[in-house]
Amino acid sequence: MKAQKTIEIRTEGLPMKPIEEFVALQGNFKVMDDRREKSITENLIQNGFISPIFMWEGQILDGHQRIKALKKLLEQGYIISYKGQNVNNKIPYIIINAKDRTEAAKFILTYNSQYGQIVALDEFLEEFKLNWDDIDSQLMLNTEYNAKQIGKGNNKLKNDWIMPPFSILDTRQIYWQERRKDWYELIGNTSFTRENALGDDLMGSINDGVSLFDPVLAEIIYHWFSPAKGCVLNLFAGDVEPNIVAAYRGHPLQGIELRQDQIDHTNRIAVKLNIQNNVNLICDDVLNLNKHVKDNSQDILFSCPPFYNLEEYSIDKRDFANKEEVDFDTLLQQVINAGAQKLKNNRFAVFVVSEVRRPDGSYRGFIPKVIRWFEEAGLKYYNEIVLINSIGTLPFRINGMWQNRKVGKMHQNVLVFFKGKIKEVEKVFKEARQVGSVHQKVLVFYKGEMDYIKKEFARQEALQVE
């Protein structure tokens, strides 16, 4: 057997039967576009058949798309193999116990795979005699987002949490991407004042060479961690999206920003949307915060500060991105301390940050620094959320990075802090704002000189080949 023409089964101890004997239960519940089908097909070729098919009463609960992709691969000459032996198109399955078709239907929603897109949901619910109350606890918020205008969704989406309140937020999901698309249809282009902030080469040409703040993330932050219509204070308010999302959602926003062109851009969009009365952006150094904002006046403190010198925003010497690490740290700590004073008691502060490397390749420890600075300012570290970003240019950059054992970063950290008494959270916000944790961290450290990483691991790999 040729390896490239074999799909290897990688589960053990399960019954198997021919692929043509599997009967679909879902009908038209899920469809798969070409991109998703390609993703499943490539995964099967590369990784084999890892997850079994889930069955109820002889019918498929979960695995329709994998079976569809497998059948196409079989038509292309692939065979299914188990421990190196041809199994004549048999694949493993698990039987799920359910008392009736309605309960089985709930399993379909619960196990809905990331590759399938939910369609004809109303018809499905009617067929199985289900309603939203029956499935809400299983489905959470994984239904397809179908609002064509922000804030004009169906009755369920008007009152939900937008996304499940878990410690992982995945911007690659279809429902996230569609919601983001709707925001940008409303807001328009937000990048044209910052072309090539990431450079003018091929990598920098994506997104006009800038990193854009995700409007869905801004929406989630305000919805989860601010009282209704609460006042927002945005430090480093150059990103258009957090300003416009806050104002559009009815939050009066004050922001401090060094660049007048960014302020003008936000104001133009605010006027177009008739929300200018909710936006108050001040062109000044954020270190002068005390001149413009009263203490104990804000309902949420928000910021996505510069990540040291990762991006070039301006040539202004006051710009934090133009500071050396020691000066940057000293100044940002001052800003955090001043911002904490502006926050009302029993309120949240949210900082979106990411680790950044020094010239020698080591991390600067930005995340633990921010946590320490907030705690020293009197706030309590309350939630950590990991924002998974799209893969972007990472495939082009990873080979050079990995020679030095630098993993490709495709996430940011959303750090949430609370000012006041933790026991007051539920009283003030009616429902607790504690995010359910679904992730762990793997921390990697290196002993020795950074310059030797590439050389040392190249030597080890050569020895393994020998």
Split at pLDDT 50, 70, 90, the class of 219 is: very high
| Residue with tokens 């897109």, as numbered in its chain | 117
pLDDT value of position 199:
36
Provide the pairing of β-strand 53-56 with 90-95: parallel
Tell me how far apart the alpha carbons of residues 28 and 121 are, in angstroms, rounded to a whole number: 9
Evaluate if residue 203 carries a pLDDT over 60: no
Which of 257, 311, 259, 296 is CA-nearest to residue 279? 257
Using one digit for the tens of pLDDT, what is the confidence trace for 120-140? 455 556 656 665 555 544 444
- Least confidently predicted of 59-73, 107-121, 213-227, 358-372: 107-121
* DSSP assignment string, 202-259: TGGGGGGGSPPPPHHHHHHHHHHHS-TT--EEEESTT-HHHHHHHHHTT--EEEEES-
Full set of structural domains in the chain with CATH: 3-139 (3.90.1530.10), 168-440 (3.40.50.150)
Tell me how far apart the alpha carbons of residues 396 and 262 are, in angstroms, rounded to a whole number: 30
Using one digit for the tens of pLDDT, what is the confidence trace for 394-447? 665 666 777 777 787 888 999 999 999 888 887 777 655 666 565 677 777 767
Q: What average pLDDT does this structure show over 352-371?
A: 91
Which helix or strand (DSSP H or E) is residue 90 part of?
strand 90-95
pLDDT value of position 57:
83
